[in-house]
Chains A and B, each alone.
Chain A
Amino acid sequence: MPTAAEELADRAKFVRTETVRLTRIAGAGHYSAVFSCAELLAVLYYHQLRVDPRRPDWPERDRFVLSKGHAAIGLYPVLADLGYFDPSELDTYTRLGSPFGDHPDMKKIPGVDFSSGSLGHGLSVSVGMALAARMSTLDYRTYCMLGDGELAEGQVWEAAMSARHFGLGNLVAIVDANQLGIDGFVRDVMPAEPIEERFAAFGWQTHRVDGHDIKALLDVFAALPDSDGRVPQLIVAETVKGKGVQRMELSPDWHVGNLVGTDYDDVMAELRHEEVR
């Protein structure tokens, strides 16, 4: 009998292999931005979020906003696996008229709470959702996943400032700090650190965790205060862009890429048979 952590690790591996499989259909895709948040997606959807795949529009469900929308290819298999739609539909990924593009569309995909793609908007959306919960006296939480490169967008800080002013203790921002943008290391292009200090200055309570350590992730979510508090919560997940595939780890060349021929087979073998290092 596997432990809960082992099962979640298996689901993270599933996120990675499905990403590689679907990217092959499209001919190119965002591998490495998904790989950095695979454990986060697994812990959120298979453990943390209060959702019901039979009722995607359930008003009391927790909301999840994938602000770093280019990781959508990792989200789709999770939603299919949970039963939001038939997994065979995934094979239409990026084809003409498919609901599944490179960024998530709430109007086309059950289980997607908000459409995203342009970076920097998701935290404002989430503030709106958390405010709506307060006005409707519902106790759901809103979770928002951002990338660390995304923190250069000014609107993120407008949202961060407003979240504390509105007393949104029902809001949880998660920064997938995978260290890389398209042009290189975030620390070189436009440094996001010190992320916790910056959010703390805006009045947030902050947490830092190894984003690939499932047990640590479970602990940090378990330690969140009740959602009726006034202080928004930030989790900085230290991750590695491309985690799980050696050639992709911390390599700017794999923000968007394509695996062909034996490379594809090698990577799938690497993901299936090796433990995440």
Chain B
Amino acid sequence: MGQDQSEIFNGLKDARSVDGTDTRAIPAFVFGEELADLAEHDPRIVVLTADLGRSNRALDFAARHPGRFVNVGIAEKNMVTIAAGMASCGHLPFAATFGSFAALLCAEQIRTDCAYPDLPVRIVGHHSGMSMGFYGTSHHSLEDLGMMRTIADLTVVCATDANHLRALLRLSLHHPHAMYLRLGRGRDPEVYDTVPDLRVGQAQTVRDGSNLTIIATGSEVHPALRAAEILAERGVSARVVDMWTISPLDRDAVLDAANTTGAILTVEEGNLTGGLGTAVAEVLFDADARVPFRRHGVPDEHVPVGPPAGLYAHYRLDAPGIVAVAEELLTTSEGDAT
């Protein structure tokens, strides 16, 4: 499948990333390709999708392992529960569909059939956040982090870029619990130039700083890094933490940020109710860590129609927007101190 055709199937003529980078040069979704590589050495791996094998590139897996690929058609709940049945028989299933359908439509199947029996099912919710742009509310996945992280025995992780996704898939082979893997649209600019060594529950500090910590996840890590560069030019030293491990959250990284940098800004491509910012706030509150703090993301509303980059700018989730919010936070906290 050619790049242009893939764009059509992704439904995203706007090939810019969160912060306006032209992403046409970025390697297409590595999900199917990486799993196909891993499956050469791991006979447990099976891949399921619900008529979205083109979008998530599961067809790259199917081309090499046709006997281990299951397309259930447009029946996401059936897909997740079939995966659970297969996991109970020793397989390691990866069930992939748009994040909104995976988390919202199949929340009960994920909890009751995967997490409660503690089965190693990997639910892959891709095209997360607002990356579907003008497709609208039905295709936006803004509530998934808030919903998924309330489920016991479900590990919730977010992919940052292609190398990070490869790391998550490799890590998942040895993880004993059910996982929700939140993936962007597969066109996130590079944050990691090699495949990082990841441990569940351990965030990655991708830039150090002393005046402020920006805790971001998924597709917001790259614009957070660019925001830190802009802030540095203005004399503000910002640490950037990639909080890819949402459940369990890296509490130590949060409290260390509070102790050593003071102010904390969380940035996420999702509804502010219940997501990353809420999770960080819980840690700070429970530890009685009183630092200037702000949650930045999508307010509790249905977002307007528009191309993805337009939506990110609208909600100040691009690099200039994050800079503006960070400066507001620091100005406000200085005002509080005087």
Question: Which A positions have Cβ atoms within 8 angstroms of B?
Answer: 59, 63, 65, 105-107, 113-115, 117-118, 121, 124-129, 131-133, 135-136, 155, 158-159, 161-162, 165-166
Interface residue ranges of B31-76 to A (CB < 8 Å): 46, 67-68, 70, 72-73, 75
User: Does B75 contact A128, Cβ atoms closer than 8 Å?
Assistant: no
Residues of B within 8 A of A (CB): 46, 67-68, 70, 72-73, 75, 77-78, 81-91, 93, 108-109, 112-113, 116-118
Once the chains bind, are A128 and B112 in contact (CB under 8 Å)?
no
**Cα A65 to Cα B83 with chains together (Å):** 15
In the assembled complex, the Cα of A21 lies from the Cα of B90 at a distance in Å of: 37
Q: How far, in angstroms, from A125 to B85 measured CA to CA in the complex?
A: 4
- With A107-B118, A127-B78, A162-B75 in contact, is A121–B112 under 8 Å at CB? yes
Q: Please pick, from B46, B89, B117, the residue contacting A107 in the complex, using a CB distance under 8 A.
A: B117
Q: How far is the CB of B120 from chain A (nearest CB, A)?
A: 13
Determine whether the beta carbon of B75 is less than 8 Å from that of A136: no
Closest A residue to B78 by beta carbon equals: A158
Residues of A within 8 A of B75 (CB): 155, 158, 161-162
Check if A128 sits within 8 Å of B82, measured CB to CB. Answer: yes
Quick check: B88 and A128 within 8 Å, CB to CB? yes
A124/B88 contact (C-beta < 8 A), A106-B117, A135-B68 known: no
Closest chain A residue to B116, Cβ basis: A115
Determine whether the beta carbon of B85 is less than 8 Å from that of A158: no
Contact A124:B67 (CB < 8 A) given known A135-B46, A159-B78:
no
Residues of A near B70 (CB, < 8 A) are 131, 166
Determine if A136 and B90 form an interchain contact, defined as CB atoms under 8 angstroms apart. Answer: yes
- Kindly state the separation between the CA atoms of A165 and B91 in the bound complex, as whole angstroms: 21
Q: A59-B90, A135-B46 are known contacts. Are A124 and B77 too (CB-CB below 8 A)?
A: yes
Residues of A close to B85: CB separation below 8 A: 65, 114, 124-129, 131-132
Q: Are B82 and A162 touching (Cβ within 8 A)?
A: yes
A128 to B46, CA, bound (A): 11
CA distance A259 to B68 in the complex (A): 51
What are 26 A-B contacts defined by CB distance under 8 Å? A105-B117, A114-B84, A114-B117, A115-B116, A117-B112, A124-B82, A125-B81, A125-B82, A126-B85, A127-B78, A127-B82, A128-B82, A128-B83, A128-B84, A128-B87, A131-B70, A132-B86, A135-B67, A136-B90, A155-B75, A155-B77, A158-B77, A161-B73, A162-B72, A162-B75, A162-B82
- Name the B residues within 8 Å of A114 (CB-CB): 84-85, 88, 117
B117 touches A131 (CB 8 A): no
- In whole angstroms, what is the CA distance A9 to B56 when docked? 53
Inside 8 A of B82's CB, which chain A residues have their CB? Answer: 124-125, 127-128, 131, 159, 162
A68 CA / B334 CA spacing, docked (Å): 61
Q: How far is the CA of A204 from the CA of B93 in the complex (A)?
A: 26
Minimum C-beta distance from A138 to chain B (A): 9
Contacts of B112 in A (CB 8 A): 115, 117-118, 121
Are the CB atoms of B73 and A162 closer together than 8 Å? yes
Give the distance in Å from the alpha carbon of A103 to the alpha carbon of B166 in the complex: 39
Known contacts A118-B112, A162-B72, A162-B75; A129/B86 CB under 8 A: yes
Q: Contact at A132–B78, with CB atoms within 8 Å?
A: no
CB distance from B163 to the nearest CB of A (A): 30
A121 touching B113, Cβ below 8 Å: yes
* A115 contacts B90, C-beta separation under 8 Å: no
Contact indicator A124/B81 (Cβ below 8 Å) = yes
Q: How far is the CB of A172 from chain B (nearest CB, A)?
A: 14
Could you say which residues of chain A place their CB within 8 Å of the CB of B108?
118
